[in-house]
Structure 1
Amino acid sequence: MSTTATTSHTATPTTGALIGTGLLATAAASAATMAVATAGNMAGVSLDIAGAPIPVAGFGVLTAVFSLVGVAIAALLSRFARRPRRTFVRTTVALTVLSLLPDVIVDAGPATRALLMLTHLVAATIVIPAVARRLAV
């Protein structure tokens, strides 16, 4: 009788894969927030804050900037955190909640505020799970 030793390997995600996934998620989230803003505007929701219009492209740009900050946080956590995925999800969910606060107090109508909050949630729903999947448990 012979025995065969089996070993299981836990794949450690590479930084390159993490960044690649983050970039794809960022692009998808930027496109999605612009689509949500466009749909809202077409439905009659104003994109004006304090009387100044927000360009639809502005939704995509700001989504990209803050999504890339999230990817940078993920890269740092993958290197330094004991539980990178858990820490990333908790951190980014908390940051998403905090990102809603300015929308509550902004000088805009209720529908505009709701649309702004929706774009934050859409971006988070796309980026957080995609990036979290690339982090070690």
Structure 2
Amino acid sequence: MSSTNDTGIVADRTSGRTGRTHRYRSLVGVGLLAALVAVVATTLAAALAWAAGVDFEIPDGGEKIPLGGFAFVTGVFSVVGVVIAVAFLRWSARPADRFVWTTVALTAISMVPPLLSGADAATVAALLALHLVPAAVMIPTLARSLRARTG
């Protein structure tokens, strides 16, 4: 009788662990796909702004931000967003709400450097818009994914 109960407990623990692992892997998969979409969308938007005459020149060194720079930075911070989502899924009772509040605040903070850069108005406006493109992809996608895994 006790061996049956022991087997049931082990099976429950194993299935629970597998379910939890699946939640994380699934969230990471959705997040990485969203990151790829964010990178493409941001790079495309930067290319369109560049074609429209925005030079993306930062006055300090007189250097222009290359398109690859937009792709790289978007990719890195999108992956950081996925890590934040996984952490909230693991340690928060309300991961989607916490994720949205945190990432909206981080997006707002990310708007400060372009405003302080001293670049021309077109570059500043384009940089601000380019901060919103990946946020518009990543935040709703990961929040929806977090709600699906906790609901």
Q: What TM-score, normalized by structure 2, do the two folds share? A: 0.80
* CA deviation vs aligned residue, 1:24-76 (integer Å, no higher than 9, x gap): 11011011111111100100111111210111011010001011111000000
Shift in Å, 1:107: 2.5
Task: Please say which structure displays the higher CA radius of gyration.
Answer: 2
- Percentage of matched positions with identical amino acids: 43
Q: Does residue 118 in structure 1 map to residue 129 in structure 2? A: yes
The answer for unaligned runs of 5 or more in structure 2 is: 1-18
Could you tell me which residue of structure 1 aligns to residue 101 of structure 2?
A: 90
Give the structure, 1 or 2, with the largest relative contact order (CA under 8 Å, sep 6 or more).
1
Q: Does residue 25 in structure 1 map to residue 34 in structure 2? A: yes
Mapping for residues 1-137 of structure 1, pairs under 5 Å = 14-50=23-59, 51-135=62-146, 136=150
The answer for unaligned runs of 5 or more in structure 1 is: 1-10
> Structure 1 or 2: larger helix share?
2
- Residue type at the aligned position of 1:42: A
Could you tell me which residue of structure 2 aligns to residue 5 of structure 1?
A: none
Shift in Å, 1:23: 0.4
Q: CA RMSD in A?
A: 1.5
Q: How many residues align?
A: 127
